[in-house]
């Protein structure tokens, strides 16, 4: 299972490279997901970095079914045009495509965010604003999720207590 977590602040160097930290890279099983990545312009104009084998799986599954043929062609055309296979150099740096960087509006200070199955590249200021805008909602969701887990555990414990001893 792929579970990327954490936030890591970095600076884009003068050659448009950004370090993908070891802490983040070590969360990816290279045997299962590959050692290279796809850089993709994702939802809301955020640049996303997907492990190669994972991206290949979702790329094949992502074609919208039931859409008119011209919408399907447009989706595929844009999806694959705005994605590119990339490799990290020996120091773990990613060379950012200038065109994608411009489309995503990335400046020099960026924050890499582990988001379950991919890494998002944010302007650090935008990431901090996003957190501020969504923190209350997040806290409520965590509380609800925790309560659901505790309730399920209580029900399971009750079921175990009611079973006759063998």
CATH number of the 7-124 domain = 3.40.1550.20
Q: Where are the domains of the chain?
A: 7-124
| 3-class secondary-structure state, position 145 | helix
d(CA 140, CA 80): 37
**Residue 26 neighbours by CB distance under 10 Å:** 9
| 3-class secondary-structure state, position 43 | helix
Find out whether 41 and 103 touch, Cβ atoms under 8 Å: yes
d(CA 159, CA 154): 9
The predicted-structure confidence for 10-40, as pLDDT tens digits, reads as follows 999 999 999 999 999 999 999 999 999 999 9
Helices and strands in the chain: count of H runs, count of E runs: 6, 8
The predicted-structure confidence for 83-102, as pLDDT tens digits, reads as follows 999 999 999 999 998 999 99
What pLDDT score was predicted for residue 165?
65
The pTM of this model reads 0.85
d(CA 102, CA 18): 15
């Amino acid at each position: 299972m792929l579970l990327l977590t954490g936030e890591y602040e970095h600076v884009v160097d003068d050659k448009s490279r950004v370090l993908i930290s070891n802490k983040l890279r070590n969360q990816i099983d290279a045997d299962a997901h590959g050692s290279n990545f796809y850089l993709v312009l994702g939802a809301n104009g955020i640049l996303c970095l997907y492990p190669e084998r994972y991206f290949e799986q979702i790329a094949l599954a992502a074609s919208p079914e039931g859409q008119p043929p011209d919408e399907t062609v447009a989706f595929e055309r844009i999806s694959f045009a705005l994605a590119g296979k990339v490799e990290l150099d020996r120091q773990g740096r990613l060379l950012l495509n200038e065109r994608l960087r411009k489309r995503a509006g990335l400046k020099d200070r960026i924050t890499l965010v582990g988001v379950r199955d991919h890494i998002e590249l944010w302007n650090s200021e935008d990431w901090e604003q996003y957190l501020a805008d969504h923190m209350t909602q997040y806290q409520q969701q965590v509380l609800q999720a925790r309560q659901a887990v505790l309730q399920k555990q209580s029900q399971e414990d009750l079921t175990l207590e009611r079973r006759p001893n063998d």
